[in-house]
A and B are shown apart, each in its own frame.
Chain A
Amino acid sequence: KAGVTQTPRYLIKTRGQQVTLSCSPISGHRSVSWYQQTPGQGLQFLFEYFSETQRNKGNFPGRFSGRQFSNSRSEMNVSTLELGDSALYLCASSGLAEYNEQFFGPGTRLTVL
Chain B
Amino acid sequence: KQEVTQIPAALSVPEGENLVLNCSFTDSAIYNLQWFRQDPGKGLTSLLLIQSSQREQTSGRLNASLDKSSGRSTLYIAASQPGDSATYLCAVISTGANNLFFGTGTRLTVIP
Residues of chain A at the chain B interface (Cβ within 8 Å): 4, 6, 31, 33, 35, 42-43, 45, 48, 50, 55-56, 58, 88, 90, 92, 98-107, 109
Name 17 A/B residue pairs within 8 A (Cβ), A-sorted. A4-B43, A35-B102, A45-B100, A45-B101, A50-B98, A55-B98, A58-B99, A88-B41, A90-B44, A92-B44, A92-B100, A100-B32, A100-B98, A101-B49, A103-B46, A104-B44, A107-B42
Residue of A48, A90, A109 near B99 (CB, 8 A) is A48
B49: which A residues are within 8 A, CB to CB?
A: 98-99, 101
- Tally of B interface residues using CB under 8 Å: 24
Residue-wise, chain B 61-95 has the 8 Å CB interface mask toward A (1 for contact) of 00000000000000000000000000001010100
A105: which B residues are within 8 A, CB to CB?
A: 43
A92 to B36, CA, bound (A): 12
A112 to B9, CA, bound (A): 28
A43: which B residues are within 8 A, CB to CB?
A: 89, 91, 100, 102
